[in-house]
Amino acid sequence: MPLTGFLLTVAAATMWACGNIVSRAVGRYGPMNQLAFVVWASLVPPLPLLVLSGVLEGPDVMAAALQAFSGQSFAAVAYIAWASTLFGYAVWNYLLAHYPVNRIAPFTLLVPLVGLSTGWLVFGESLQPVHFVGGALLMVGLLVNLFGAPWLTRWQFKT
């Protein structure tokens, strides 16, 4: 993996953590509309990203991307904007406000599994045996994380 890719991945994880801290902190000041919070927070990134795209890619690439915008492109943007961002973050922020973080954070492990499954179901991507093994390990890890302590406690008392 290139160093830049690694650093961007670490930066993304850091920003995810900061967003979770802000969401949790805001939710502690009383009831709030999680969807409205996500909508208002979503107004911040477009302008800096537009400027960054202009600087890194240039206006010609941006114009070509707009000219190639199709119905499939619209569907992809709609999914990202409405389904994954608005719905996903509203539900996530609701969970952060109502449950302990250590109970809901393990569910972020499902993101790669959902991505692989969606690629397979929607786009017909082929999955290799390593993907199934990884998915199974991921699910076992999630089950151990969520239910391991109660299982271990029950097992200790029975022996």
List, for residues 98-138, the tens digit of each pLDDT value.
888 878 888 888 888 888 888 899 888 899 999 999 989 98
CB neighbourhood size of 80 (10 A) = 12
Residue 158: the pLDDT is: 61
Residue 27: the pLDDT is: 66
H/E stretch holding 92 reads helix 88-98
Per mean pLDDT, which of 2-6, 15-19, 111-115 is the most reliable?
Answer: 2-6
Distance of CA 146 to the CA centre of its chain: 19
Backbone φ and ψ for 11, nearest 5 degrees, come out as -65, -40
- Tokens of residue 155, six digits: 């097992």
> With a threshold of 0.75, does the pTM exceed it?
no
pLDDT in tens, 52-102: 999 999 999 999 999 999 999 999 888 888 888 888 888 888 888 788 887
Contact 113, 139 (CB under 8 A): yes
